[in-house]
Amino acid sequence: MNDFNLGTLIKDHRKKAGLTQLELANLAGVGKTTVFDIEKNKETIRFNNLLAVLKVLNIKVEFISPLNK
């Protein structure tokens, strides 16, 4: 369970959008190394860089907790 892979999710969306890593990086305003690291599931990246990449790919982030309403 919970073998969710953020890197793969982003890579799939990037492919479907017809973008290379470099193109995605430029659109998101981050370096190509960052996109590469994200797709390799490196979690020490900065949160704002991840958000920038997700925004380009139209992926939204939601935070779920038992207390949420």
Partner DNA sequence: GTATTTTTACCGCCTAAACAGTATAAAATG
Partner DNA sequence: CATTTTATACTGTTTAGGCGGTAAAAATAC
**What residues make contact with its own copies under the rule CB under 8 A?**
6, 9, 12-13, 16, 43-48, 50-51, 54, 57-67
The residue (of 32 and 55) whose beta carbon lies closer to DNA is 32
Torsion of CA 17, 32, 38, 59, to 10 degrees: -30
Query: Residue 5 interacts with DNA (CB under 7 A)?
Result: no
Task: List the structure tokens of 20.
Answer: 């290379």
User: Does residue 31 contact residue 41 with C-beta atoms inside 8 Å?
Assistant: no
Q: Which does 22 bind (CB under 5 to 8 A by kind): its own copies, DNA, none?
A: DNA
Find which of its own copies, DNA, none residue 60 binds, CB within 5 to 8 Å per kind.
its own copies
Cα R_g (the chain), whole angstroms: 13
